Chain A
Amino acid sequence: MGNPSLISIENLRFERDDTAVVSCDQLHVNVGEILQIEGPNGSGKTTLLRLLTTALQPQEGTILFCGKSIAECRFEYLSDILFIGHQSAVKLTLTAEENLAWMAESDLSSAASLRALESLGLAGYSDIPCYKLSAGQQRRVALARLLLSDARLWYLDEPFTAIDRDGVKLLERCMEDHVSSGGAVVVSTHQDLDVQDVRRYSVLGEPLLRAYS
């Protein structure tokens, strides 16, 4: 292998109250790849994603970005990721366009954000306060960030929540376009993805299993 993986995880451990929530010996994310994280409820999918976004600090192990520890190249790494979590960070009192403006990492032209909203089926909704939109539409506002960002790595935590069938297809096409243009996607979802070249990674879900046995 000439190039190091975009992301490599080695012996990552995260514990909460002496229970291992995430325990991941080896995981690589390469350019041009969609990685689907699977596992039962409570198995630590969200925690793994939050560790990857540096929102949480692991007790053990390292995450390497292009071969360098993410603590060393924090600015480069964080400039190159986009995370959309369970909580969409959409401000309900603001309009869709205003939401995209504050979330954008650099100055955003109004035409660009309108185009992004249009491609997500929100044409004509850009100047309506988001509390008037449905849950699925609010989700689409958050997902419009995908089209506006130039981050290579997408971390999507249950992105299909409240999204209709057409929206799911649209999002799958977005992910395919992104990986074919040199990006990578890490997505946690229970759905079967209808995309090419998806690789699956299963988190063990130890805490939950232990509770049953």
Chain B
Amino acid sequence: MRKYASNGFYAYLRRDLLQSHRRLGEAASPLIFFVMASTLVPLGITPDPASLAEIASGIIWVFALLATMLSVGGLFAGDYQDGSLEQLLISPQLLVMPVLGKVTAHWLITGLPLTLVSPLLGLMLSLPEAGYLPMTASLVLGTACLSLLGAVGAALTVSLQKGGMLLALIVMPLYMPVIIFGAATVQYGIDGLAWTAPLAILGAMLAAAIALCPLAIASVLRLTSIN
């Protein structure tokens, strides 16, 4: 039984990473979106460093959220279309482990790279120096939350041809607490307050999401297969 549980996680993690490796261009597009959209802000609003510094943390967080949301929609779509989702549903192993493997792969492909390039965008948007560490720390935890919550929406919209907009409507309210505490972490850091407090709440949210989201995803996927 234990063997089945661990196998499901690593097999699906490995498979999804391998698939992204074969299609690097597609896998890199959320990251490119994140960088390009953030570049538009100084062009569209103001290039003045003092004004940018005030909104930098919020901008980076909003675009990290949008980049995750745009990429998470396809998490189960390919599996649904080619029949591998059905194979997963009728396998004897626990559904939560493969699901967690897939979400982990999604985070490694999108959330982690977003976090790694965020200091560069901070530099471009004149983020105050005290904000870098809180930003990176909050994005590591926050993007993992976003991947997990987004996967619930992806599972709910898996059978729809064009579920993109519906996915956004489902997922946005779930993302609100994440962005509130994520952006607060950075702002606290800049203002010299104890930024580990909102970060700890973000960590608690992630812990809850790891425990609950795979269960929700698994039961939603079972429901969609019935129709």
Contact = CB atoms under 8 A, between A and B. Distances in A.
On chain B, which size bracket covers the interface?
A: 20 to 34
Contacts of A74: 92
Given A78-B92, A94-B18, A106 B87 contact: no
Counting chain A CB atoms within 10 Å of each CB, the highest count among B3, B81, B86 belongs to B86
Contacts of B14: 102
Interface stretch (A2-10, A34-42, A53-61, A112-120): A53-61
A126 interface: no
Interface string A43-76: 0000000100111110000000000000000110
A78 to B, nearest CB: 4
Contacts, number: 66
Contact of A93 (B22, B81, B91): B22
Contacts of B87: 83, 89, 103
B92 A91 contact: no
Contacts of A56: 225-226
A90 B86 CA distance: 12
A55 B82 contact: no
B33 to A, nearest CB: 21
A98 interface: yes
Interface residues of A, number: 30
Interface in B4-46: 4, 7, 11-12, 14-15, 18-19, 22-23
B20 to A, nearest CB: 9
Contacts of A200: none
B160 interface: no
A85 interface: yes
Given A94-B15, A102-B11, A106-B7, A78 B86 contact: no
A137 to B, nearest CB: 16
A105 interface: yes
Contacts of A102: 11-12, 14-15
Given A78-B90, A105-B91, A91 B84 contact: yes
Contacts of B81: 87
Interface in A107-154: 107, 129
A105 B11 CA distance: 10
Nearest to A105: B91
A88 B91 CA distance: 15
Contacts of B15: 91, 94, 98, 102
B10 to A, nearest CB: 10
B89 interface: yes
Interface in A167-200: none
A32 to B, nearest CB: 24
